[in-house]
Amino acid sequence: EKAVKKEKALKVADPVKASIDKATQEMIARAQDLGIDTIFDRAESMKPCNIGMQGICCKNCSMGPCRLPLPKGGIEGEDTRKGLCGATPNTIAARNFIRMIAGGAAAHSDHGRCVAEVFLSVARKESHDYAIKDADKLLSIAPYFDVATTVEVDGEVLDRDIDEIAVEVAEKALNEWGKAEGELYYLKRAPAPLYEKWKKQGVLPRNIDREIVEIMHRTHIGVDQDYKNLIKQGTRAAIADGWGGSMLATDLQDVLFGTPYPVQSEANLGVMKDDHVNLIVHGHEPVLSEMIVAAAQSPAMVEYAKSKGAKGIQLGGICCTANEILQRHGIPTAATFLQQELAIITGACDAMVVDIQCIMQNLANVAKCFHTKLITTHPIAKMEQDNVMHIEFDEHHAMEDAEKIVKLAIDNFKNRGAEVMIPRQKNTQIAGFGVESIEYHLGGSFRGTYYTLNDNIINGRIRGIAGVVGCNNARTRHNEGHIAVVKELIKNDVIVLTTGCNGIACAMEGLLTPEAASVYCGPGLAEVCETVGIPPVLHLGSCVDNSRILLAATEVVKAGGLGKDISDLPAAGSAPEWMSEKAISIGHYFVTSGVYTVFGYMLPTSGAPVFHDYLSKELEKIYGGMWDLEVDPVKHAQKMIAHIDKKRKALGIDK
Ligand code: XCC
Ligand code: SF4
């Protein structure tokens, strides 16, 4: 019996079945050769709980966990399942679902809060290592906070002092997390009919923190026990994320670090170099990584690296930190979420610096097998393993901290073992898109010429717009869903806006190049991309930058010709390989902003069919958008295309 158990613990993944990517396959195999387990192997050894997956396990009090599995063969007649307190499957699934929204909204929004705090300290001239890089962006967002950008002096209208504007915007922005009265400022940026829908439903978020707290209260034992009312609060928190915390994060990052414009770079583990110091930044907040980029590119540090025998310093990013520094600086993307352990398995990672979110604790165990220094930097994200260093990052001495970290990486270069093995695979990518650059590259406006997005949607060269986003998931083959969904969409003339790990996956596959247009696109989309020189898949950045997709959709609505609300647009959303709570929050703010949104893998609602139907059918009647689940990637894309066609028909542009 014991022998059987031991064999079980040693289960390993089949590298080819685990990922479609060659570099990933190579590194999984190498890890196995070295006897180091990765998430791919652990996914073989441990299977998820079937009841939890269906969303019907409640552990909100100590009388549980109460598990309400669906009877074999489905429910006949009345559904009598209930927990000790009487909670129904709908209540339990809805409570679990909105707690996921709370987790996701909290993560995005706390990230936003941190940026807002840094912005305030910069505006007040208390942090000297940062500056306002994009004053135009500041001026463009000021009006949403009712901050004047001009003053009248003796009847003459003059520009207001930019520092004054900055302080006022920063204070008002930071106040969005906890203001006592009113509603979030940015809600008015949504198309007017959408704002009115939210108002009518009573889901206008009051402040960001409150909506998250209220979820925790309502889902405590014995509070809200009506799934419709529960999901309503989920909606309010999700809107507070998308049109609040995330949008504020994006905007204030643009003000501080610059609004992205298209840049060329590369992606996949092959961006690491064996003769350079490889410093990997991983996590989400650009507040730290911006400084690391500046430090690593400083001549003094490059010289120091050379003095230690390296040819230079190669920075690389993982997860959304990667996306942030890619968008603004063209720093190459080393890996998606699922490849993070593999970056260390190369043996060439001299230091990995992490901040918050999506950082696997097993990185510490893998780092133990190599010379890699693993450095946590955020007070809210530490690791228990004793080989992990903590260098707390503080905006008041940001550059000093960053230099310390870069120096650590350089000093560690000489400690590499002989076992360096960097996969060769990498691909070129053009990233750095945003609302501003979509407008700029497609004719300078959204409507009125041969080149604009709206005109090309109306004339049918572009069939519609898809937002394809989100994580990797070790329960599905790495990147397979991402790539299959995106390829099917562009083949059918649907332009894709991407963020997060989908963006990284597309980059690794070469889909973020203008050349991809002639290879993978239908004739209409190919023609548009070739005419204006853009890739068919536009990388809009990190997870918080999904707010850019909301604003792009809003601009398309406002430019005219495609209906009056986001729900009128020939558009759809997708997260083929989602796994994080943030994805549920994103999905839900897409849905309640009017977007048909399809998830791959699974939805934790299947054990509560009534609640599931409510999300997938009834929400459409209220918000115009709804949830769907489709595991097969081609069908997944086809469902999105069918929805796009339905909208084209309603607009009378289906000919
Ligand atoms: Fe994390 Fe943002 Fe998901 Fe990737 S996509 S696994 S959340 S890094 Ni946002
Ligand atoms: Fe069970 Fe109700 Fe407690 Fe949940 S809240 S664990 S359903 S008794």
pLDDT confidence tier of residue 152, bands split at 50, 70 and 90: very high
Amino acid identity of residue 370, one-letter, is: F
Rounded to an integer, the average pLDDT of 334-347 is 98
Cα torsion angle, 597, 638, 603, 548, sign: negative
Judge whether 65 and 83 are in contact, CB under 8 Å: no
Q: Are residues 505 and 642 in the same domain?
A: yes
Residue nearest (by alpha carbon) to ligand 1 atom 3: 471
Residue 78 lies in a domain: no
Judge whether 436 and 467 are in contact, CB under 8 Å: no
Residue 564 predicted with pLDDT over 70:
yes
Q: Are residues 223 and 276 in the same domain?
A: no
Residue 58 lies in a domain: no
Question: Last residue of a domain, which of 224, 257, 290?
Answer: 257
Rounded to an integer, the average pLDDT of 411-428 is 95
User: Taking the CA of residue 254 as centre, how many other CA atoms within 13 Å lie in the half-sphere pointing to its CB?
Assistant: 28
Q: Are residues 349 and 309 in the same domain?
A: yes
Q: Which atom of ligand 2 is nearest to the CA of 64?
A: 6
Q: Which atom of ligand 1 is nearest to the CA of 499?
A: 9
Q: Which of 319, 482, 506, 584 is the pocket-test mutation for ligand 1 (most atoms within 8 Å of CB)? A: 319
544 lines ligand 1 (CB under 6 A): no
What is the DSSP code (8-state) at residue 269? G
* Pocket (CB within 6 angstroms of ligand 2): 58-61, 63-66, 83-85, 87, 92, 221
Residue 400 lies in a domain: yes
57 CA to middle of ligand 2, Å?
A: 9
Q: Are residues 487 and 609 in the same domain?
A: yes
Report pLDDT digits (tens) over 250-270.
Answer: 999 999 999 999 999 999 999
Q: Which of 396, 384, 342, 391 is nearest to 367 (CA)?
A: 342
State the pLDDT at residue 236: 98
Q: Are residues 160 and 21 in the same domain?
A: no
Judge whether 349 and 280 are in contact, CB under 8 Å: yes
Rounded to an integer, the average pLDDT of 368-397 is 96
Domain hosting 556: range is 429-651
Report pLDDT digits (tens) over 265-322.
Answer: 999 999 999 999 999 999 999 999 999 999 999 999 999 999 999 999 999 999 999 9
Residue 61 lies in a domain: no
- Quote the number of domains for the chain: 4
Report pLDDT digits (tens) over 505-561.
Answer: 999 999 999 999 999 999 999 999 999 999 999 999 999 999 999 999 999 999 999
Question: What separation in angstroms does the CA of 571 have from each of 568, 583, 645?
Answer: 8, 18, 9
Residue 63 predicted with pLDDT over 60:
yes
> At a CB cut-off of 8 Å and minimum separation 6, what does 280 contact?
315, 316, 317, 318, 334, 343, 349, 351, 352, 353
Residue nearest (by alpha carbon) to ligand 2 atom 3: 61
Judge whether 134 and 254 are in contact, CB under 8 Å: yes
Beta bridge partners of 629: 599
Q: Are residues 527 and 571 in the same domain?
A: yes
Report pLDDT digits (tens) over 566-622.
Answer: 999 999 999 999 999 999 999 999 999 999 999 999 999 999 999 999 999 999 999
Residue 330 predicted with pLDDT over 70:
yes
Q: Distance (Å, rounded) from C-alpha 223 to C-alpha 213?
A: 13
Rounded to an integer, the average pLDDT of 175-179 is 98
* E strands in 268-347: 277-283, 313-318, 333-335
Residue 423 lies in a domain: no
State the pLDDT at residue 8: 52
Q: Are residues 130 and 219 in the same domain?
A: yes
Residue 35 lies in a domain: yes
111 lines ligand 1 (CB under 6 A): no
State the pLDDT at residue 418: 73
99: enclosing H helix or E strand? helix 89-123
163 CA to middle of ligand 1, Å?
A: 34
Report pLDDT digits (tens) over 5-18.
Answer: 544 557 999 999 99
Amino acid identity of residue 263, one-letter, is: V
State the pLDDT at residue 9: 58
Judge whether 591 and 599 are in contact, CB under 8 Å: no
Residue nearest (by alpha carbon) to ligand 2 atom 6: 64
Question: What separation in angstroms does the CA of 416 have from each of 324, 366, 382, 387?
Answer: 28, 14, 25, 16
The CATH number covering residue 121 comes to: 1.20.1270.30
User: Looking at this predicted complex, what is its ipTM?
Assistant: 0.95
Report pLDDT digits (tens) over 459-473.
Answer: 999 999 999 999 999
The CATH number covering residue 449 comes to: 3.40.50.2030
What predicted TM-score, i.e. pTM, was given to this entire model?
Answer: 0.97
Residue 81 lies in a domain: no
319 lines ligand 1 (CB under 6 A): yes
Question: Last residue of a domain, which of 415, 443, 477?
Answer: 415
430 lines ligand 1 (CB under 6 A): no
**Residue in the structure block whose two tokens are 């989908």:** 502
Residue 618 lies in a domain: yes
Residue 417 predicted with pLDDT over 90:
no
104 lines ligand 1 (CB under 6 A): no
Q: Are residues 329 and 395 in the same domain?
A: yes
Residue 376 predicted with pLDDT over 80:
yes
Q: Taking every pair of C-alpha atoms in the chain, what is the biggest distance, in angstroms?
A: 91
584 lines ligand 1 (CB under 6 A): no
Q: Are residues 241 and 277 in the same domain?
A: no
Residue 356 predicted with pLDDT over 60:
yes
DSSP string, 467-499: EE-----TTS-BTHHHHHHHHHHHHTTEEEEE-
Q: Distance (Å, rounded) from C-alpha 41 to C-alpha 288?
A: 32
What is the DSSP code (8-state) at residue 387? T
User: Taking the CA of residue 445 as centre, how many other CA atoms within 13 Å lie in the half-sphere pointing to its CB?
Assistant: 8
Q: Are residues 21 and 93 in the same domain?
A: no
Token digits of residue 653: 């542009």
Report pLDDT digits (tens) over 93-129.
Answer: 999 999 999 999 999 999 999 999 999 999 999 999 9
Residue 42 predicted with pLDDT over 70:
yes
Residue 395 predicted with pLDDT over 90:
no
Judge whether 38 and 25 are in contact, CB under 8 Å: no
Q: Are residues 219 and 326 in the same domain?
A: no
Q: Are residues 463 and 599 in the same domain?
A: yes
Token digits of residue 385: 């393993």
Cis amide linkage into residue 299, ω under 30° from 0: no
Helix (H, G, I), strand (E, B), or coil: what is residue 378? strand
Question: Last residue of a domain, which of 257, 277, 302?
Answer: 257
State the pLDDT at residue 204: 98
State the pLDDT at residue 365: 98
pLDDT confidence tier of residue 1, bands split at 50, 70 and 90: very low
Rounded to an integer, the average pLDDT of 395-408 is 95
Q: Which of 57, 63, 90 is the pocket-test mutation for ligand 2 (most atoms within 8 Å of CB)? A: 63
